[in-house]
Structure 1
Amino acid sequence: MKILHLTKKYYPMIGGDAYTVNSLKKQQIRIGHTVYILTSNCDEIARDEKVFKFGLKDNSANLDKITLQRLISLTFLFFWGFSKLRKLKPDIIHSHSADMGFFISFAARFYGIPLVNTCHGISFDDKQYFFLKRLAENFFLRYSGFKKIIVVDKSGLEILEKAGIKKGIYVPNGVDIHKFERKPGEKSDGKTSFLFVGRLEKQKGLEYLIQAAKFLKGKNDFEIIIVGDGEEAENLKKTATEFGVDYIIKFTGKLSEHSLIEQYTGCDIFVLPSLWEGLPLTLLEAAAAGLPIIVTDVGGISSVFTHGENALLVKARNSRELAGKMQELMSDKELQKTLSTSARKLAEKYSWENSAKQLENIYTDV
């Protein structure tokens, strides 16, 4: 089967959609499929003979925004579809961005190529998102002619059904559990190391993690390692300095895959204070590394993670509660061990092999 994935972000960019598409590509090639990638015209994205770029040159920070530059690029995608799909002749187009899916849908329908879409997070029902963004997403999901709309967390199915959008189907993300396997003696000693991995954006709620560090400083020997980059990086560093916790918090920036795995396997506790989410891949990676997890109860997280069993769930935007759970885990090594063991068992249920097989069945059906 010849598969064309559409994605705003792609390897080696940071982001769940970028990592997901790259992981699926590798697995689908192993199965025997031919896989092409169509993505944004960003210097951060590696190009090869099966990775195409479209539109105006842009940067990763602008790809999730509605800008004139982005709209012009999407118009280019409309024409790219008619000029390239006839030559490429994919059997299936798998969009990972509803707007990209909409703009290529005209050519896809003209050439009779089925189109499916994965929602890596749904925003149209969440008033935290800008109104125009929510309106656009709702429109694209309804009128792009998607044969199936794939969600990565079960709460997404409820959101689609409530909105009267049919064709929803649940396929969770996967994780390479062997890659993140912790080896004996790798666990850090001395001070407790908290780890965050992700884009440094408002969505991730890192200001509340910094506030929690302020509440805890002087009471415990701990550090917070923040891995990733984004448009909030400088603001977060400034906030850490203003709160007097810049000596506690280490900003690593973007790391290589090898260095990232070293952080997962070398730290003690994973913390994700997001304001909204679907099912973040970083949570599955942390679980695969056997890290005790503290995470906000948003999106589809509680449909996978259970408070007190394989994670500690806290309210979003509540730095006091977050600090309390961080203190609780630092003080209770048995609870750390319980959460670690359960998280690892949970991660073992997820794999890219399973995700790829489920998607293959969907492709065949449509």
Structure 2
Amino acid sequence: MKILHLTKKYHPMIGGDAYAVYNLKKYQMETGCAVYVLTSNCDEITQNEKVFKYGLKDTSANLDKITPQRLISLFLLFFESFRMLGELKPDIIHSHSADLGFFISFAAKFYNIPVVNTCHGISFDDKRYFFLKRQAEKFFIKHSGFEKVIAVDKNGLEILKKAEIKNGIYIPNGVDIHRFENITREKNCGKIRFLFVGRLEKQKGLEYLLKATEYLRSKNDFEIIIAGNGREAKKLKESAKEYGIQDIVKFTGKLSEQELFEHYLKCDIFVLPSLWEGLPLTLLEAASAELPIIATKVGGIPSVFSHGKNAILVKSGESMELAREMRRLIEDKKLREVLGSNARNLVEEYSWENSVKKLDSVYSLRVS
């Protein structure tokens, strides 16, 4: 089978869609599929015989915004897709962004190529996003002729149902569960290390993590490691200084895959204080690494993780509650071990192999 993935972001960019497409390509190729990627024209992405770019030069920071540059790129995709699909002749197009899926759907219909779309996050019922973006996403999903609309978490599937999108299905993203098998965890330095991994954006709620850290700073028995980059980086570093916690909080910037792997091994607790989410891949990675997790009760997180069993779940935007649970895990080693072990057991069903099998059954329904 020849598969074309269509995505705004791609490796080595940070983001669930970039990470998911990179791994789907890898694991689908292992099953014998020919896999191609069509993505944004950003310098971070390397073009080769399997990875193509469309549109005007852009930056990762602008890809989620409605800008004249983005709109021009979408129309260029519309025109270029007729030539590209005619030459490549994929059996299936897997879109990872509704706007991209809509603009390629015209050429796909012309060549009778089915298109499925994965929603890595759904904005049209979320009033944090402005009205035009929410309505545009709903329009694209409803009028693109997608064979299936895939939600990566059960909460997302419910949102699709409420919007009367009847061809929605649930297929979670995967994680490399073999990566952390037979590992030796690095002994800590006497201090408990909390790890956050992700984009430094308002969505991730890091301001509340810093405030929680301020509440706990009198006991100098822990560290916070924030791995990633983004638009909020400067502001967050200024907040850390303002709260007097700059010696406790370490900003690493973006890490390589090997560096990130090493951080999962040397840290003790994973923390994700997001204000909204789908089902973050970083949580599945942390669970795979057998790290105890503190996360917020938002999006698809509570549908996968259970409070007190395989994670600690707190209300979003509540720094004091977050601080209490951080202190609880700092002081309770046994609880950390139980949560980490249970999280590892839970994540066994979220392997990339399982995700690829489920997707293959979706592709095959139409391709056959």
Q: TM-score, normalised by structure 1?
A: 0.98
For residue 140 of structure 1, report the CA deviation from its aligned partner. Answer: 0.7
Q: How many residues align?
A: 366
1:55 maps to 55
Instruction: Give ranges in structure 1 of 5+ residues lacking alignment.
Output: none
Whole-Å Cα distance in 2 between the matches of residues 184 and 362 of structure 1?
Answer: 38
1:156 to partner: Cα distance: 1.1
| Alignment-mate amino acid for residue 55 of structure 2 | G
**1:128 aligned partner:** 128
Aligned residue for 2:46?
A: 46
Which position in structure 1 is the counterpart of 2:274?
274
Q: Over the residues paired in the alignment, what is the CA RMSD in angstroms?
A: 1.0
Determine the C-alpha separation between the residues in 1 that align with 2:74 and 2:350: 34
Are the equivalent residues in 2 in contact too, given 1:182–1:265 (CA < 8 A)? no
Cα 1:187–1:338 change in 2 (3 A) is same
Cα distance in 2, alignment partners of residues 247 and 189 from structure 1: 15
Give 1:48's aligned amino acid. N
CA apart distance, 1:187: 3.9
Q: Secondary structure at the match of 2:310?
A: coil
- Three-state SS of the structure 2 residue aligned to 1:52 is strand
Q: Residue by residue, what CA displacement relative to the aligned partner does 1:323-346 show, whole Å, maximum 9, x if unpaired?
A: 111011011111111101101111
Say which SS state the counterpart of residue 11 (structure 2) adopts. Answer: coil
- Alignment of 1:65 onto 2:60: no
Matching residue of 1:14: 14
Determine the structure 2 residue equivalent to 1:37.
37
Contact 2:93 2:116 (C-alpha < 8 Å) held by counterparts: yes
Instruction: Return the alpha-carbon distance in structure 2 between the equivalents of residues 191 and 354 of structure 1.
Output: 37
The corresponding residue for 1:347 is 347
Q: What percent of counterpart residues are identical?
A: 69
In the alignment, the residues of structure 1 paired with residue 246 and residue 74 of structure 2 have an alpha-carbon distance, to the nearest angstrom, of 41
Q: CA contact under 8 A between 1:6 and 1:37: conserved in structure 2? A: yes
Do the aligned residues in 2 keep the contact of 1:11 with 1:45 (CA within 8 Å)? yes
Counterpart amino acid of 2:339?
L
Which residue identity does 2:99 align to in structure 1?
D
Q: Do the aligned partners of 1:152 and 1:172 also contact (CA within 8 Å) in 2?
A: yes
| Deviant stretches of 4+, over 4 Å | none
The one-letter amino acid paired with 1:288 is: S
Inter-CA distance 189–181: structure 2 relative to 1 (3 Å threshold) = farther
Contact 1:208 1:273 in 2 (8 A): yes
Q: CA deviation at 1:133?
A: 1.2
Q: Which residue of 1 aligns with 2:251?
A: 251
Deviations 1:177-206 (CA, angstroms, capped at 9, x unpaired): 121347235242400100000011111010
In 2, the alpha carbon distance for the partners of 1:193 and 1:40 equals: 36
| Matched residue SS, 1:362 | helix
Q: Aligned with 2:350: secondary structure?
A: coil
Letter in 1 for 2:281: L
Whole-angstrom CA distance in 1 between matches of 2:298 and 2:91: 36
d(CA) in 2 for partners of 1:175 and 1:84? 31
Distance 1:180 1:349 in 2: 15
Amino acid at match of 1:15: G
Aligned partners of 1:279 and 1:299 also within 8 Å: yes
Contact kept? 1:29, 1:35, Cα under 8 Å:
yes
Asked if the contact 1:92–1:114 (Cα under 8 Å) also holds between the matched residues in 2, the reply is yes
The one-letter code matched in structure 2 to 1:66 is I
2:299 is matched with 299
In structure 2, distance between residues paired with 1:353 and 1:210: 37
Unaligned regions of 5+ residues in structure 2, if any? none
> The residue matched to 2:121 in structure 1 has which SS?
coil
Q: Secondary structure at the match of 1:349?
A: helix
Cα distance in structure 2, aligned partners of 1:215 and 1:68:
44
Tell me what 2:81 maps to.
Answer: 81
**Map 1:312-327 → 2, pairs under 5 A:** 312-327=312-327
